[in-house]
């Protein structure tokens, strides 16, 4: 499978380059950065501390999509919208791990998914995907006297909050309870907030240091507390999951899929 990477010079981009280059089932056909990036022209092998491979960092997204069976995108919501249109135009499957996606951004993925396979997940980790499935299951089994709180922590450079993964866990908990997350989410608490609203799903956000990603779903009742936790210590878990999703799209029908689909959950 021929795979291209957008945002290839970033932290996640370099992890993706390593995973795709190391896989016997894939061929790395290129990587791009935004026009004017200082990384433009740098050999992709040098970006990951390896030998040169004769492919430099480009800035032509259309050219990359035309050459790729599948493109992996961990960039920004605005860039992902552009990439979704290119995927549909060139017939490339698209793997999206971009966070901070709003309804309009997701709508762009849905349009592309009418023509090509699109896998979109707020977190590509296999472990986090299992955590989401467990969260939905536990939320459905426990009664409303178990309050649900979601705690997440990431590195100081993360720009969106709560994280896409935390919101995904919130949606999983809401699905288990049969409620609408938008109506029941409490995303900020400050000052005199009064008692906790029954049935709400709370979020707490921490930022600092080099934390790759910690997520805990807390089910708290009188007398006991259940906590489901996932901690990522290396971004390679996200890259491995994205590569697994890319390989899964081979000969797949057009549609908008999730990592739950990839894992058969």
Quote the CA–CA distance of 224 and 214 in Å, as a whole number. 22
How many Cα atoms sit within 13 Å of 85 on the Cβ side? 8
Four-CA torsion 211, 158, 184, 168, nearest 10 degrees? -70
Say whether 8 counts as a known binding-site residue. Answer: yes
Q: Is 97 annotated as a binding residue?
A: yes
C-alpha dihedral, 184 to 187 to 188 to 192, nearest 10°: 20
Rounded to an integer, what distance in angstroms lies between the CA atom of residue 213 and that of residue 97?
A: 14
Could you confirm whether 158 is annotated as catalytic? yes
Q: Distance between CA atoms of 68 and 249, rounded to whole angstroms?
A: 13
Q: 123 labelled as ligand-binding? A: yes
| 99 assigned binding-site residue | yes
Phi and psi at residue 175, in whole multiples of 5°? -65, -40
| 34 appears as a binding residue in the annotation | yes
Considering the candidates 18, 90, 105, 154, report the single residue annotated as catalytic: 154
242 contacts 72 by C-beta, under 8 angstroms: yes
Query: 33: annotated binding-site residue?
Result: yes
Tell me whether residue 164 is annotated as binding: yes
- Tell me whether residue 115 is one of the annotated catalytic residues: no
Report the distance separating Cα 242 and Cα 1, nearest Å. Answer: 14
11 is in an annotated binding site: yes
Q: Give the residue numbers of the binding site.
A: 7-12, 33-34, 97-99, 121-124, 155, 164-165
Residue positions annotated with a catalytic role: 154, 158
* Binding site members for (S)-2,3,4,5-tetrahydrodipicolinate: 155, 164-165
Where is the binding site for NADP(+), in residues?
A: 34
């Amino acid at each position: 499978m021929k795979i291209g990477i957008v945002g290839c010079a970033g932290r996640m981009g370099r992890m993706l380059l390593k995973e795709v280059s190391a896989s016997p089932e894939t061929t790395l056909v290129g990587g791009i950065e935004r026009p004017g990036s200082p990384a433009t022209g740098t050999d992709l092998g040098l970006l990951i501390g390896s030998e040169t491979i004769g492919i430099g960092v480009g800035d032509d997204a259309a050219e990359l999509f035309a050459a790729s069976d599948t493109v992996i995108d961990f960039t920004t919501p605005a860039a992902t919208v552009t990439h979704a249109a290119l995927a549909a135009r060139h017939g490339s499957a698209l793997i999206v791990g971009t966070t901070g996606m709003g309804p309009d951004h997701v709508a762009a993925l849905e349009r592309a998914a009418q023509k090509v396979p699109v896998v979109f997940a707020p977190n590509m980790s296999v472990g986090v995907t299992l955590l989401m499935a467990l969260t939905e299951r536990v939320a459905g089994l426990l009664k409303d006297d178990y309050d649900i709180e979601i705690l997440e922590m990431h590195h100081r450079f993360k720009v969106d909050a709560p994280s896409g993964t935390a919101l995904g866990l919130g949606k999983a908990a809401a699905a288990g309870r049969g409620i609408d997350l938008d109506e029941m989410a409490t995303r900020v608490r400050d000052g005199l907030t009064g008692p906790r609203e029954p049935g709400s799903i709370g979020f707490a956000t921490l930022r600092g240091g080099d934390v790759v990603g910690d997520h805990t779903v807390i089910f708290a009742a009188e007398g006991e507390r259940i906590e489901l936790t996932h901690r990522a210590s290396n971004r390679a878990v996200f890259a491995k999951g994205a590569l697994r999703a890319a390989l899964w799209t081979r000969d797949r029908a057009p549609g908008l899929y999730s990592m739950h689909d990839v894992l058969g959950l």
